[in-house]
Amino acid sequence: MPERTLVILKPDAVRRGLTGEIIGRIERKAGWSLAALELRTLDRATLEQHYAEHEGRPFYEPLVEFMASGPSVVMVVEGERVIEGVRALAGPTDPIAAAPGSVRGDFGTIVRENLIHASDSEESAEREMKFFFPSFA
Ligand code: IDP
């Protein structure tokens, strides 16, 4: 059964002109497709809620600042095992530890500026889709 996941191409991906490359990788996976997509500058309130689980960690404040620093591409991707699949396509959080072939492994060096967010479970995908696209069924 197809799933849906919430993906954010972070401000570094937009600034560096990598959104087409990353969206292309997602679209080329068999049966995956875009269900919603918007270029959006995320405000502090939105980001504080999105990253609430990290509040108090040393990287939290610079993360919120970075994420608010310019437009992101916010999207819903749907397809077979897309929650696990986009996480695999993104690679692990630290781009230096991420394997070449993954988005973070191919394009990133800085942990904070790691290009892409993707929901990490069915539960967070549901929550994040409703949060970023409230009118989305
Ligand atoms: P994930 O995005 O791979 O799921 P999380 O642990 O949920 O990773 O962290 C959210 C985001 O916070 C990361 O994608 C990264 O941008 C940033 N981040 C996480 N850990 C660190 C860190 O140790 N230093 C700087 N930024 C971090």
Residue 41 in marked binding region: no
Residue the block writes with tokens 């409230």:
134
Best mutation site among 55, 63, 109 for ligand 1, i.e. most ligand atoms within 8 A of its Cβ? 63
Whether 93 lines ligand 1, by a CB cut-off of 6 Å, is yes
Q: Residue 38 pLDDT more than 80?
A: yes
Q: Please spell the DSSP secondary structure of 67-123, one letter per residue.
A: HTSS-EEEEEEEETTHHHHHHHHH--SSTTTSPBTBHHHHH--SSS--SEEE--SHH
pLDDT category, 1, cuts 50, 70, 90?
Answer: confident
From the candidates 89, 117, 118, 125, which is the catalytic residue? 117
Q: For residue 113, what are the CA distances in angstroms to 50, 63, 94, 97, 117? A: 16, 9, 9, 14, 10
Residue 109 in marked binding region: no
117 annotated active-site: yes
Whether 65 lines ligand 1, by a CB cut-off of 6 Å, is no
pTM above 0.95, yes or no: yes
Q: Could you tell me the domains of the chain? A: 3-136 (3.30.70.141)
Percent of the chain with pLDDT over 70: 99
The pLDDT of residue 83 is 98
* Three-state SS at 4: strand
Q: Residue 128 pLDDT more than 90?
A: yes
Sorted by sequence, the CB contacts under 8 Å of residue 105 that are 6+ apart come out as 91, 95, 98, 99
Say which amino acid occupies 103: V
Residue 40 in marked binding region: no
75, two tokens: 């999207």
Cα 129 from Cα 137, distance rounded (Å): 9
State the average pLDDT over residues 20-40.
Answer: 98
